[in-house]
Structure 1
Amino acid sequence: MLQTLREKTSGWIATVIIGLLIIPFALVGLQDYLVQRGDVHVAEIDVPPSWWRGAPAWWPVSTLWEHERITTQEFRTRLENARQRARQEQGEAFDARAFETAENKRAVLEQMIDERVQAIAARESGVAVDDALVRREIQSIPAFQVDGRFSPERYQLALASQSPPQTPRQFEQLVREGVLQTFLASNLNDSAFTTPSEIERMIRLLGERRSVTLMSLPPATPDAAPVSDAEIQKWYAANAKDYRAPQQVTLEYVELDGSTLPVTAVDDEALRRRYEQEKNRYVAAEQRLASHILVRVPEGADAAAVEAARKKAEALAAQARAPGADFAALARANTDDEGSKAGGGDLGWVTRGLMVGPFEDALFSMKSGEIAGPVRTDFGWHVIQLRDLQAGAQESFEQARSALAREQAESDRERAFNDLSGRLVDLVYKNPSSLVPAARELKLPVQTLGPVSRDESTGILANPAVKRAAFSEALIQDGTVSDPIEIGPNRSVLIRVTSHSPERTLPLAQVRERVEEAVRMDRTRKAAEARARALVKQVQGGASLASIAQANGAAEPTQIPELPRGAPLGAPGVSEAVFSAAAPAAGTVTPGTEVLPDGSVVLFTVDAVMPGDVATLDPTQRATLQQQLQALQGASDVQALVRALRQRYRIDVVETNF
């Protein structure tokens, strides 16, 4: 057989066939067949070769295209960074399960693709990031600075503490890529501009006022006609998303509350021993009743100004020490401390730690009735009067007993809570599929909750941590008891999901009445819209709002002169409708309507339009508006650039690798 095979593959025909087979291997790359690729990617960006930008995307020319990939590791790193930011911003409200949605992951990936196509476009345009720019970018990062200056030691330490650690070369490459990715966008954004005519047009638009006349017609009689099966089926099919039951869980849980745990009676002997051990805690702090006069020294004052303030304070101190001097009157007339001026410099009773160091040192070295100063602090020069003092006193056991007893009870409850919690967890670990045996042994009630959805905050579900656990895949799929979840000081719960129903579309039979009601409401709304259109035609035909109101038994129309843009007009949407209507021609009005959710109709006419006055905006406000418009224009330009770049390249997303 081998000889026959050799003869069959030795002729010229076999040689031609083998040659033809080699061609596709050469075009697509033999290494793709022989080498096991280790890079798993979530997106691939195919770019036409630099020497043939118009290269078609069809095979075999497509094999000449360059390929840039976003690896799974890069994507996961970016996703984790986004997760940490969301956790910091949302705190306890952060929901890890909601963050892991496909939509959220896709949004993170789309941002990475946008950045990558900008970097590719920058390279195509010949942009290169030199080493000097990379160094400047790194040295400007606050995390690498000490006292506002770049620290090589801090830089090395920060890179080494990364997970995984990074070398300076690796980090420099990341910075280089980051600069490249934002180069086009930042420069395009900086190049945005607005003309004076655009600014003036925006001023006239934003400051526009309209004189309007409006009236309100009550809702028509609700539709009560029968709804056919065909209408029901059609509405249900078109609006199935409105008839979905949310994901729901039913829970059993055991709650541990340390405040409800019994404690043993307080032992006076034990309290006395604790009092003797902690006697220093029950000494009342020394207090001093003080007043002062402040001669303020401005920050950055020169030596002459400081000396002048000191001499003024010295003279005030001499006056205060004079026989019969009234310190309070002197303070009211001379102190620069506005907080104590009205009270004659009175600072009240002062304990250590309340005042700045030099002031406090002077005050607590004085005798009652003494006047000291001038004393220098960061605020200036002080003249201090000690009016009275109360020495620290030791509290007796009887005085401290209530505080000692309260602390002992809290300590006992905390110890009992920790002991009970530990015993409960140990018992649950022996049988993690049920709470009942462990709770029965410890004589704890097992409570139930549900079925409840993620949107509800009933009972323990008001705590975000409990809600996250209740709707986590682990507890739903395994049916096991959770770890203790802290919901307050010395208060925790252990939960178990006993039943779960996923989000689902409700059958028509179950929501038939709701569908019928929706069809009738839709009929009523359409009838109200038709009524509104008919009223507008009457106004266009020459009818006045007053005659329409009289014919429909409605209240007299209301005139509102010079209504500013954005001002509310009662019901939502009315103001927007008024300012969306076209400006009336001279001698005419522009009619319009807004149908409100309850079916009532607001009919209005725009009687006059007064544009904003350009002259009312001062130069500062005008400059601010210009900056805002330029920022909006720049952002719009960047979005347009990214859309154009994405159309130039071929982008393939591998969602299975998310």
Structure 2
Amino acid sequence: MTVSNSALLAAAFLTTVSSMSMAQAQTQTRNPPPAAQRAAPAPLPAPPAQPTAQDNAVVKGGEVIARVGDSEVTAEEVRATIQMLDARQQATMARDPALLNQTVRALLANRLVLKEATAKKWDHQPSVVTQLARARDGLIVETYLQSVTAVGDQYPSEAEIKSVYETNASAFLVPRRFRLAQIVVNLAKDADKGAEDAARRKLDDIMRKVKQPGADFGALARALSEDTATAGREGEIGWVAEPDLRTEIRAQVTGLPKSGIGDPIRLEDGWHVLKLVDTEASHTRPLPDVRDALVQRMRAERVEANRRAYVAELLKQTPPVVNEIALSRLLEPKPDAAPSR
């Protein structure tokens, strides 16, 4: 049994995109601002960008995209493997063309490994032959199930979309948000009395200045705040959803008027003086804003329901018989081998 180039291309493509997407997500992750302890709820995923007819006309299917040695990757192969990605991965690639370039380069490297492995008849190894057979069976089962459980283009109807939207309106609720700014005086939890007294003197001076008529909170934050991340933005933290605020901060912020400045709050890293820049009321995202993602989710759930029903019917027609005793023994620890003499 030999490994097909198309199968390897697909496997390498999926592995590379998944790894790069994870690395990209980890790179973009940042610690939350002092006022927030949990990330805001992620928006519903957007559907992947679809290539236009004009785009398809630019690069023909048989055109060589890249080559290494005597091995080539064509546009048709790349397009076919892109279609194997899930919606989130396709959307990530659409936003970052460099990711596609990196992936094709990884595929070329994989081709070199394949050439060397097949030259050494690695695909004839008994364990590899077994794994390839399992992968083949799994691919046949998966693609066949996809074909018999596919959802027609007419689903869902507009009435069904509206019904699901109204039934699950709470899922589209955007909580009240607060736009906050801060001035921070750093003070460690285990600071000695001298550090505490110095921090208190600076804090008292800050409070005196921000309470003066016409005080410019942003300018004071830029000049006096010891939080480097926000001082350069005139103390701006940004928008924070109400559920993501710490309890002690939520209690104060919800009682402030617009542009109001609260009393200092002691947190683990020091004293925080917060200003409520603006408030956004809680609201439900309108159907047009979530329609595409909702349709995508409804179709995926219908496919999954069709799959469960199809498999259940097969099992009903041919009931399985399981040797439960033998099955339970598989989990028993193997007896220690007798010591050699």
Between 1 and 2, higher relative CO (CA 8 Å, sep ≥ 6) is seen in 1
Higher Rg of the two aligned structures:
1
TM-score (norm 2): 0.49
> TM-score normalised to the size of structure 1?
0.27
Higher strand share: 1
